[in-house]
Structure 1
Amino acid sequence: METVTHSSPFDSFLDRMRNPASLDLVRSIKSFIVSFSYTASNPETDGKRIQEFFQTMEDAIRDHPLWASSSDDETDNALEGLEKYVMTKLHSRTFASTPEDVKIDAEISEKISLLQTFLRPQHLDIPSALQNEAAWLANPPQLHSNLKFIQLYRRQSKLVSEAAYYLTNLVSAKSFIVDLNAKSLSIEESEFMESMEAARLVNRVPQETVTTINKRSIFGKLMDPGPSTPVHVKTQTNVNGGSSGSNYPYMEAEAGELTVGDVERLLSLYKDVVTKYTSLCNTVRHLSVSRTQRHDGLLREPNGTHKDTCSKETEKRS
């Protein structure tokens, strides 16, 4: 039985570009791509140039003999293939191409990461019927650069209708995250600042742990066992006169002092650090939720009405 294969729009576009009859189109495409290397990078200007090129090529493809008998869908597939080819070639020039883009990507990602430790649907007044905890875990990488890339370089004829609606919502969500503060949420400003600071503390722990491990070059030592004598553990005296070096004895050790025999204990200590870090994360999250619940309980009467804290205290005294 003969197998029927369906090529993708991109493969179909490349196949036609290999046809000798497409030589004029190929030259135009390559000339455009090369010309980018001779101009200074400017996202706004680059976006306009690319959009103008796509429009010029669309007219050329529609009038070209290779697509003379093509349907609108076939022509559109060719334009999709053209866009993919051009933007793949120009990706390093057009995606996250400025230090500012890289900086904004990092700031947004960090802010989302901090907010995820304590922010809950009720802080955004989202009704329980519309809450989706799974969606709460998303932190898309390079959100700013991806949205900017689509806005500048996606063929404008495709950014209409439903696609434009979704893109507009994503851009709005990004702007909301960038500007988000206590006034944007149903949360006291002091609690918001407190929770953000606790989140920063939690998020710093893993990086500091990784940095410490790298500095010790533990895995490097496995390649070169060295002497079999265990490292001499340095002990410190705490304020109560007791030993403070027994739980984490390698804090004062140098990389050259470690041996293969120390790996088992280091692994145990590493697991202990991870366990405590996880516990800290859960504690911070639990405290944030508890504060929110206590706050709601203090300000809300059983029938759903609000009453200020001062009034409650007055009632107690009377």
Structure 2
Amino acid sequence: MWAEQRGIHVDQSELLCKDGCGYYGNPAWQGYCSKCWRVRTRSTQPDRQEYGPSSCPSPAGGAPLTFSKFEEKKNTEKGRRVNTMRRLFWGSSPSPPKKEPSESQIAALKAFQSLQPGDFTNFLKLLRRPASQNLQSRCTAFLNTMEAYHDLPVEKQSDLVQDFYQSIAGHFGSLPEEQTVQMMEHIEKLIMTRLHKWVFCHDSSDDEQKDLVLQRRIRALKWVTPKMLRVPFKEEGSEASDPFLTAITAIIEMDARRTPQDKLTCVSKCSQSVFQALASSSSEPANADDFLSGMIHVVLKANPPRLHSNMQYIIRFGLPHSLMAGESGYYFTNLCCAVAFIEKLDGPALNLSPEEFEEYMQGRRPPPHSGVEGCEGLCRARTNQQLLAEVTRRQEKLAEGVCAMQAELSQWVQAVQSQVDDIQAKVPLHITSTESDI
């Protein structure tokens, strides 16, 4: 994937799904998109029974489904509770015939259709209307049940959330695709704001350990310069502020967001800032290789908190369309590629020998400084040097003033003493005694 001659190179075709579906793949899914990865994963588990809304059997066809082999090991009581949870989500009938929407439901959909993009506050107001009671009840039941079963493995929780997205999207089936996407983003924000504390960095995963490993890895690579990564920048602009500062701030801010969509917004803002920084640092337009190099530089410089956990949270609980297509999908795929590159970074990727790479990693060789990487330290050193020179000049001037003052004081004392001697010579001092002294 990476070519030694140019340092960092990625073919755009390598960002796409390995199944050739046309969507973006992801290293976390072994190069597949989320849809193909789920199909592939489920096909390798023949003992697992699907639990989507379209696959639930009718009461005449047998007992409702359980969660899979994991739930088969549970006792009968736990199985009954799980089945109850499924009925709360999707009901007991497999695929009831579609009913024509009532006038109130049509009015509710028109109200949803009038919402502006990102207007989550008014979405909540419309959700509380009687016409939206069915949608609100389904969301509330899903949230309450997920919180009650928050001890399930995080992958099971991910499957439940993704299947719920697929089920609830049918509620907005009559809306145009673009507005359906906006409504689903509101649904995601509603659901994941509540579930964030239960599913983020879950105890059943090793996200916390991988966060620490990745953080130490990035800290150990702090010596890597933009020049090594082939990041274009202006040599004469070394005294200016870091052009990637906005991108660094955006990627750090991602950890403070609660929903996958908001975290993806931070990734998009970071990526757009990288493109702007590259455009301001080079006369030539930035290409995909430059962008990936800039993204790697930003990640190394920022060392974002809980980066692995945030990426896994987006992958597990984000809307599929946000990760598989569009700008957000492209930006997130490049972020995943940047992290994968950092994890496997070696000497040849930076045009260094293995011995030189190990010396840098172990601190036996002083870190190189060039361009943007050494900008902050260089500016600070020059500022301190100028301040020190100014203090030295002031001290020298003060010392000269003290010497001059001492010389003037000595001359004044000599002059006063000379005057006193002259007066005493002209007018001798006679001490006469009086009768009172006798």
Instruction: State the TM-score, normalized to the length of structure 1.
Output: 0.53
8 Å contact from structure 2 (residues 117, 182) kept in 1: no
Higher helix share: 1
8 Å contact from structure 1 (residues 96, 145) kept in 2: yes
Q: Map Cα deviations across residues 226-255 of structure 1 (whole Å, 9 max, x no partner).
A: xxxxxxxxxxxxxxxxxxxxxxxxxxxxxx
Cα distance, 1:198 vs structure 2: 2.4
- Which residue number corresponds to residue 328 of structure 2? 163
Q: Say which of 318, 332, 336 aligns to 1:154.
A: 318
8 Å contact from structure 1 (residues 182, 188) kept in 2: yes
- Which residue number corresponds to residue 154 of structure 2? 43
- Which residue number corresponds to residue 171 of structure 2? 60
Cα distance, 1:102 vs structure 2: 1.0
8 Å contact from structure 1 (residues 124, 186) kept in 2: no
Question: Pairwise mapping of residues 93-112 of structure 1 onto structure 2 (< 5 A)?
Answer: 93-98=198-203, 100-112=206-218
Residues in 2 aligned to 1:41 and 1:190: alpha-carbon distance in whole angstroms:
47
**Structure 1 residues 81 and 105, CA gap change in structure 2 (3 angstroms):** same
Q: SS state of the match for residue 285, structure 1?
A: coil
Q: How many residues align?
A: 194
Cα distance, 1:57 vs structure 2: 0.9
**Structure 1 residues 30 and 123, CA gap change in structure 2 (3 angstroms):** same
**Structure 1 residues 163 and 8, CA gap change in structure 2 (3 angstroms):** closer
Q: Say which of 166, 177, 181 aligns to 1:76.
A: 181
- Which residue number corresponds to residue 137 of structure 1? 301
Q: Structure 1: which amino acid aligns with 2:194?
A: K
Q: SS state of the match for residue 168, structure 1?
A: helix
- Which residue number corresponds to residue 274 of structure 1? none
Q: Structure 1: which amino acid aligns with 2:207?
A: D
Q: SS state of the match for residue 92, structure 1?
A: helix
Residues in 1 aligned to 2:117 and 2:232: alpha-carbon distance in whole angstroms:
46
Q: Say which of 363, 367, 372 aligns to 1:285.
A: 367
Q: Map Cα deviations across residues 118-167 of structure 1 (whole Å, 9 max, x no partner).
A: 11234345566558698462322222112112222111123213322222
* Identical positions, percent: 28
Unaligned runs of 5+ in 2: 1-114, 234-281, 283-289, 371-438
Question: 2:137 aligned with 1:27, yes or no?
Answer: yes
- Which residue number corresponds to residue 355 of structure 2? 190
Residues in 2 aligned to 1:55 and 1:6: alpha-carbon distance in whole angstroms:
23
Instruction: State the TM-score, normalized to the length of structure 2.
Output: 0.39
Who wins on radius of gyration, i.e. which is larger? 2
Cα distance, 1:39 vs structure 2: 5.7
Question: 2:344 aligned with 1:179, yes or no?
Answer: yes
Q: SS state of the match for residue 152, structure 2?
A: coil
Question: Pairwise mapping of residues 251-266 of structure 1 onto structure 2 (< 5 A)?
Answer: none
Q: Structure 1: which amino acid aligns with 2:353?
A: E
- Which residue number corresponds to residue 9 of structure 1? 119
Residues in 1 aligned to 2:344 and 2:194: alpha-carbon distance in whole angstroms:
34
- Which residue number corresponds to residue 259 of structure 2? none
Q: Say which of 204, 208, 228 aligns to 1:123.
A: 228
Cα distance, 1:185 vs structure 2: 2.8
8 Å contact from structure 2 (residues 150, 199) kept in 1: no
Q: SS state of the match for residue 121, structure 1?
A: coil
